[in-house]
Amino acid sequence: MIDADPDANISDLINKQTNFRDTIAGVITELGRKLERKEIPPYLSEKSLVEEEVFRHIITFNNFDLIIQGRSEGEGCYCSINNILKHLIKILAENYKITIIDSPAGLEFFARKTSIDVDDLILVTDPSKMSFHTLQRILEVKDEVSLDFKNIWVLGNRFNGKNKNLFIESFEKNLGNHMKLLGFLSYDGEIQKFNLSGKSLLELPSNNVVYQQANKIFSQIV
């Protein structure tokens, strides 16, 4: 699992404290310092050094591993971190059965072409007119930068029975030719409570309604 949101929040959801030095940004910063202090022999390639260090800092769980992108300290752009991420995703995809990338909301991520060779793009949307506009704009950006996905899915989150039908109607009319509807998750008070009280979502009971909905929904593509 790659948390590719510079405003990383997966650690919050699973209540896991993470250090800056365990993120890709942290690894790069530390390597930069070592290079400055001439603690690294100049004949070693930067690319393989970063790769080695990132894999050394992978956060492991029972049945998945987590890599956090993190945010570079101070000013500067994400270009270098982005190139590294692109390279790492390729290696991960070759070594893991499934690679999941959680990207930041909006279009920046697509325009930067981080997500090459993605099988399933899942756009999580809430019941609002704004999210329809976002879905439409994502299609435009995808074509502008010639990105290709095997499947583009839309997953409705925080939906209830009534707004589900309204959404489906509008979806079929406007987006049905370009995207497929993956399913809907309901709003759930228990999830909100877990999040507010800082409890890990990994401890959500298996009889939780949204957990069961998600299980069924994702079994379509996993």
Ligand X SMILES: Nc1ncnc2c1ncn2[C@@H]1O[C@H](COP(=O)(O)OP(=O)(O)OP(=O)(O)O)[C@@H](O)[C@H]1O
| Helix-helix angle 46-56:79-95, to 10 degrees | 60
The pair of three-digit structure tokens given for residue 174, joined into one six-digit string: 């406007």
> 81, 131, 158, 184: which one contacts ligand X (CB under 6 A)?
158
**83 or 157: whose CB is closer to ligand X?**
157
**9 or 220: whose CB is closer to ligand X?**
9
**159 or 171: whose CB is closer to ligand X?**
159
**50 or 156: whose CB is closer to ligand X?**
156
> 149, 187, 211, 218: which one contacts ligand X (CB under 6 A)?
187
**82 or 134: whose CB is closer to ligand X?**
134
Q: Rule CB under 6 A: say whether 147 interacts with ligand X.
A: no
Contacts of 142 (CB under 8 A, 6+ apart): 110, 149, 152
Q: Rule CB under 6 A: say whether 128 interacts with ligand X.
A: no
- Exposure on the CB side of residue 193, measured as CA atoms within 13 A: 7
CA distances from 119 to 122, 150, 153, 177 (A): 10, 5, 10, 18
Q: How far is the CB of 105 from ligand X (least distance, A)?
A: 4
Q: Rule CB under 6 A: say whether 9 interacts with ligand X.
A: yes
Q: Rule CB under 6 A: say whether 192 interacts with ligand X.
A: yes
Contact, 69 vs 2, CB < 8 A? yes
The whole-angstrom separation of Cα 111 and Cα 94 is: 24
Of all helices (H) and strands (E), which one includes residue 180?
strand 180-186
Q: How far is the CB of 171 from ligand X (least distance, A)?
A: 18
Q: Rule CB under 6 A: say whether 185 interacts with ligand X.
A: yes
Give the residues lining the site for ligand X (CB under 6 A). Answer: 5, 9, 105, 124, 157-158, 185, 187-188, 191-192, 195, 210
